[in-house]
Structure 1
């Protein structure tokens, strides 16, 4: 079914959203993207509580965010989002962040899956007993590509992170938006100063409170830094993989 207009969330960049440069952190943008999606679905009757009653939940698979110009502290912005379409078991949702004049600040494409929480299995869209309106004509492009670190690249451990209360959400595991901070924490000061023009993340498995993550990264290659998180246990299974495109490709190689 076609909805009349995409959902829009108006807000101001607050001090909790900004980094040391008074620019909106990527993780804060991802947090507002989650909020906008939840409110869009809630307006259709698909609330979090209703889904939990049905034993269902959402699992984010891949996020691809292009940052045209970082929003600034106290800037008023608008975030539009819409469910685009389903492809197989995948739900595709797009986003556009604009300033007061309507100029695009960021664009994002995301891929989600519907999960049976009891069996921890992905289920088909038909398993959702609600109607989700779509905007297939407003597509920002194809489904975001899965991020896979090239096999020829060598990644080095940067730090280890134990998931604590501050990183978790109502599901009891690290919130999806927090992974942007994990990636940025692996960058040097020079790389942070250069800014980020694009962030692509694929989520492979959950990590829960008190579990430890090994965060690895590559050297800067053609303006790109690859970051990967592994579980700090015997199997060291991959938690996420990410590709960070620096806005200033002249940033110096990492010497961390």
Structure 2
């Protein structure tokens, strides 16, 4: 997903390498995934992306995964901000940059589920952020959050169930050498399993919150 969006941004001259020269970076704040099916090794798929809109502080981007016959496999909605890499804070939307991408100004914001950390979790495991875990903004790259969430579930569960929906909100960056905890509670609700996750710092403050909905394979 990141590669495809980066190709689009590069063509408009506003990719990661360009914005970094201005001391800025793209940072995702929230994702919502709907997963109909997953591609198998050797399958050919098409990845489609479009910058779907913006407002004063947020930019929105959609992703679609289709198989070679055009059947939709995965749909993703995402929310982004521009980030000041020196001051470590979000920036207002660059309207000239959005005009360059031909992105519409939104009067009504896309709705994402409101995610809140649980008061306590049934399972916790501590990890260390390594140098190889970092992205271009020098904080923990997105894929490692999912690795740490999935690592909390046992093998027997993973062999019987697959993810149907993902909601994740990034509240605070996780940085090099920090030792956060991956937290999880698994619940069965209306004949469906949901796992509730958080990444907590060493003081117990949540840095990311996630909910995974599972279906039987």
TM (normalized to structure 2)? 0.88
Shift of 1:34: 1.2
CA distance, structure 2, for counterparts of residue 80 and residue 48 of structure 1: 19
Establish whether residue 218 from structure 1 lines up as the match of residue 188 from structure 2: no
Distance 2:96 2:141 in 1: 23
> Corresponding residue for 2:64?
96
* Whole-angstrom CA distance in 2 between matches of 1:52 and 1:126: 14
Choose which of 176, 179, 194 in structure 2 pairs with 1:209.
176
Tell me whether 1:133 sits opposite 2:102 in the alignment: yes
| 2:155 pairs with 1:185 | no
- Tell which deviates more after alignment, 123-132 or 92-101: 123-132
In the alignment, the residues of structure 2 paired with residue 58 and residue 196 of structure 1 have an alpha-carbon distance, to the nearest angstrom, of: 27
Structure with the higher fraction of residues in strand conformation: 2
> Paired residues, what number?
210
1:142 equivalent to 2:104? Answer: no
Pair 1:247 & 2:208 matched? no
Higher mean C-alpha deviation, range 206-215 or range 123-132: 123-132
Aligned to 1:169: 135
- SS of structure 2 residue aligned to 1:221: strand
Q: CA deviation at 1:204?
A: 1.1
Structure 2 counterpart SS, 1:35: helix
Aligned-pair CA distance for 1:47: 2.0
- Cα offset, 1:105, TM superposition: 0.6
Q: Residue 157 of structure 1: CA displacement?
A: 3.1
Counterparts of 1:128 and 1:176 in 2: how far apart (Å)? Answer: 27
Q: Describe the superposition over 1:206-227 as per-residue Cα deviations: whole angstroms up to 9, x where unpaired.
A: 1122211111111323121101
Give unmatched runs, 5+ long, in structure 2: none
When normalised by structure 1's length, the TM-score is 0.75
Shift in CA distance, 173/184, structure 1 to aligned 2, threshold 3 Å:
same
List aligned pairs for 1:33-182, cutoff 5 A: 33-126=1-94, 129=97, 131-134=100-103, 142-151=110-119, 154-182=120-148
Q: 1:195 offset after TM fit, Å? A: 0.7
Tell me if 1:229 matches 2:199.
yes
**Structure 2 Cα separation of the partners of residues 146 and 60 of structure 1:** 16
Distance in 1 between residues matched to 2:156 and 2:166, nearest whole Å:
17
Counterpart contact for 1:82–1:135, Cα < 8 Å: no
SS at match of 1:180: helix
